[in-house]
Amino acid sequence: MNISQTNRVLSGMRPTGLLHLGHYHGVLKNWIELQHSYECFYFVADWHALTTHYADPSIIGESSRDMVIDWLAAGVNPGNATIFIQSRIPEHAELHTLLSMITPLGWLERVPSYKDQQEKLKDKDLATYGFLGYPLLQSADILIYKAGFVPVGEDQVAHVELTREIARRFNHFYGKEPDFEQRAEAAIRKMGKKNSKLYKDARRRFQEQGDTEALLIGKALLDAQQNISLSDRERLLGYLEGGGRIILPEPQSLLTMAPKMPGIDGQKMSKSYGNTIALREPPESVEKKIKTMPTDPARVRRTDPGDPAKCPVWGLHRVYTSESTRQELTEGCKTASIGCIDCKQYIIDAMLDELRPIQQRVNEYLNDLSGVDSIINEGCEYASDVAQDTIKEVRKVMGLTGR
């Protein structure tokens, strides 16, 4: 096996209802973009959904396949990305259990979302073992695929940080093979004369002088090396940095810089605010929702001037309208030369243009559910292969040789 671990992206989404434009602009468009430059793994996080929806899980079963359909319709391409369902890959759960052995309780209690979400979702009892451990389950999701990058919003950065700390702790405990140095030296020889020398040079400069440039050179050298196995690569990376062998590599956050997608009340679009427009929203309903949106309260009559800065609709113009149109509309609003109905029409048109091809593809997939299931099955099979490779290694270093 020779995977390029640093090039792998992993992300998951909870199946808790139909996707809306907030998901599309905040997450999906980014996923679709990433497919061009990374090996992507996108999964339905159904176990994660259970951490908050355990009392009434019906929505999870109902929305899992529909969510995949929405991904596909939006442009996630199964030729570029592996699409799968978390609960069909039991290795996530096994790794979660194994990682739980080395996870200090304080690390989990410190994750900001633990207390925040308990505060926010007051109608649910989230003082559960599963909810406390959910960031660790996320760490297992990431580490089981040795993902290099995790696209996340601001609220999830702390989870990737936890994952890095867990990986470091794991490697510290289990990355020390008794014959580590000999194996590393043997791996160096496999790189050929010239590269061996460059690697040793870079290692010495980093370890003796803390030269971080040399560290980068060493890493680049390993990246470019075609003829060494993954475990040798991990050994050499650990040897370069001065630790043991790296079994679970530390992932990095890819912070998604999407513009804020407002809902139909001007707040962030979110199911819990009841202000969403679904990807499958019928055109008449899109039109009605936008037309009934509140505007600048100063514009009581058509002849009253207004100010876009005080209008909940304006956030949508930032997503859908060009800079020059926005200038004209600002002028028109402030002088009352346009009405709110005219102003909103730009958004209605742009939104319907965006949704039309997506909804067309949704219908195609709904008429071919067995095709969708094959995509999911193939994704699960591939994900399972990768996950099994990792769990075998983990079992071995944690003393579980009984099978």
Q: What residues numbered 267-306 form the site for ligand SF4, per CB under 6 A?
A: 295-296, 299, 306
Which of 174, 184, 171 shows the shortest CA–CA distance to 236? 184
Asked if 26 is part of the footprint of ligand TRP (rule: CB under 6 A), the reply reads no
- Length of the chain (residues): 403
Give the separation between CA 276 and CA 372, rounded to whole angstroms: 26
- Kindly tell me which of 207 and 384 has the beta carbon lying closer to ligand TRP: 384
Which of 21, 14, 22, 33 shows the shortest CA–CA distance to 75? 33
Q: Which of ligand TRP, ligand SF4, none has residue 296 at its interface (CB below 5 to 8 Å by kind)? A: ligand SF4
Q: What residues numbered 29-48 form the site for ligand TRP, per CB under 6 A?
A: 45, 48
* Cβ atoms within 10 Å of 122's Cβ, excluding its own: 8
- Kindly tell me which of 265 and 364 has the beta carbon lying closer to ligand SF4: 265
Asked if 12 is part of the footprint of ligand TRP (rule: CB under 6 A), the reply reads yes
Write the CA distances from 194 to 165, 198, 200, 213, integer angstroms.
35, 6, 10, 19
Q: What residues numbered 80-109 form the site for ligand TRP, per CB under 6 A?
A: none
Please provide residue 11's backbone torsions phi and psi, each rounded to the nearest 5 degrees.
-150, 155
Q: Residue 241: in which H helix or E strand, if any?
A: helix 230-241
Asked if 295 is part of the footprint of ligand TRP (rule: CB under 6 A), the reply reads no
Q: Which of ligand TRP, ligand SF4, none has residue 150 at its interface (CB below 5 to 8 Å by kind)? A: ligand TRP
Which of 49, 70, 71 shows the shortest CA–CA distance to 61? 49
Interface stretch with ligand SF4, choices 20-28, 74-82, 121-129, 338-346 (CB under 6 A): 338-346
**Binds ligand TRP (CB under 6 A): choice among 8, 9, 14, 39:** 14
Q: Where are the alpha helices (DSSP H) in 121-192?
A: 129-132, 134-143, 157-174, 180-189
Asked if 311 is part of the footprint of ligand SF4 (rule: CB under 6 A), the reply reads yes
Q: Chain-centre distance of CA 92, in angstroms?
A: 16
Q: What residues numbered 143-172 form the site for ligand TRP, per CB under 6 A?
A: 150, 152, 156
Q: Largest Cα–Cα distance in the chain?
A: 83
Number of residues that bind ligand SF4 (CB under 6 A): 13
Q: Which of ligand SF4, ligand TRP, none has residue 63 at its interface (CB below 5 to 8 Å by kind)? A: none
Q: What is the DSSP string of 39-51?
A: EEEEEE-HHHHHH
- Kindly tell me which of 24 and 314 has the beta carbon lying closer to ligand SF4: 314
Q: How far is the CB of 297 from ligand SF4 (least distance, A)?
A: 9
Structure tokens at 301: 């009559």
Structure tokens at 49: 């959904």
List interacting residues with ligand TRP (CB under 6 A).
10-12, 14, 45, 48, 138, 141-142, 150, 152, 156
List interacting residues with ligand SF4 (CB under 6 A).
295-296, 299, 306, 308, 311, 313-314, 333, 338, 340, 343-344
